[in-house]
Amino acid sequence: MSPKSNYLNFLKLNEKKLNKPDARVVVAFYKFIEVSNTIALQNSLKLIFNKSEIKGTILIAKEGVNGTIAGNKDEISVALEKIWRIGLLIDLEPKYSFAYKNPFFRMKIRLKKEIVTIGLTEISPNKMVGNYVKPENWNSLISDKNLLLIDTRNSYEISIGSFENALNPNINNFREFPNWVTKNLINKDPEIKNKKIAMFCTGGIRCEKSTSYLKSLGFEDVYHLEGGILKYLEKIPKKESKWNGSCFVFDYRVSIDHNLELGHYEMCFACRMPISKIDKMHKYFVQGESCHHCFKSSSDKQKKRFKERQKQIELSKKNNLKSVS
């Protein structure tokens, strides 16, 4: 099925939800591809978005493109048609979900050294990568009792949901992943490079880079979930799912459930931990400043900075900024 056909199928399956006045299509995408002229690609994308109400963030680097955008279905349809006309992005395969208000405040298109930061610029899925496993085949793969299943996301993401029997590396950011591999896999098990390993992440980008990293170290039998958790939740019926809990997303929805709808968590914008309604009742919770996870670990100076940031967030919500930067 072509990228356009997948999008039209998503619209058809969710027609009633998307016909609500404030419904927004959320589009997450990435592609590892050699970009010789990052500025030219940035300018091409700016031309698509600078006259629309679509908001989100797109990162561009020599290794590819990574972004999440949101808007009403008509504007998103037009934008996707234009994106697919760009030669480098003709086969871009996004993941779709929805929100009942735009989860972003503005549109940003930025140039970066990496589209997902592992801190090792020599690692590139454009050169080598693990085996892609489609969502439809994922359940069968992870049912293998001899498989080592690794969740490559940050600990605060994993805290609200993951796949059954997945190993949590307990990392705070993706840069820590290479050290974790050395300390907890290679140093502890001399035969680890010969074992069957599968990895997953939110949209596929981190696990694709992590399999590239493992392949560079000599790991042989490495797999990852194509399209990540988002594509799995989109494709696999809830009754057949091996996913437990909610999926953390990097926007103001904070989490989505198996129906791709808004989850039951908010975010502490001081420490980025997802927090529930019960957590918000804790004496240490202050909107935008602290929660019970971070109140004792943050300084007064940090709390003051978080408070000021919260003011700016509220101001952005009020002004509904439209600028493309």
Question: Catalytic residue positions?
Answer: 201
Could you give the CA distance from residue 284 to residue 293 in angstroms, rounded to a whole number?
9
Chain-centroid distance, C-alpha 80: 19
CB 99 within 8 A of CB 24: yes
Q: Which residue has the tokens 């290679």?
A: 186
3-state helix, strand, coil in the chain (%, to 5): 35, 20, 45
Q: Contact 81/113 with Cβ under 8 angstroms?
A: no
Please state the φ and ψ torsions of residue 114, each to the nearest 5 degrees. Answer: -135, 145
Pick from 68, 48, 46, 44: nearest CA to 57: 68
Do the beta carbons of residue 310 and residue 322 sit within 8 Å? no
Q: Which residues, at least 6 apart from 88, have a Cβ–Cβ distance to it below 8 Å?
A: 31, 33, 35, 41, 65
Token pair 């940050």 is at which residue? 154
Strand partners, 67: 29, 58
- For residues 16-46, one letter each, b for 16 or more C-beta atoms within 10 angstroms of the residue's C-beta and e for the rest, the string is eebeeeebbbbbbbbbbbebeeeeebbebbe
3-class secondary-structure state, position 215 = helix
Which of these, 81, 72, 73, lies nearest to 48 by C-alpha position? 81
Residues 6+ apart with CB under 8 A from 180: 169, 171
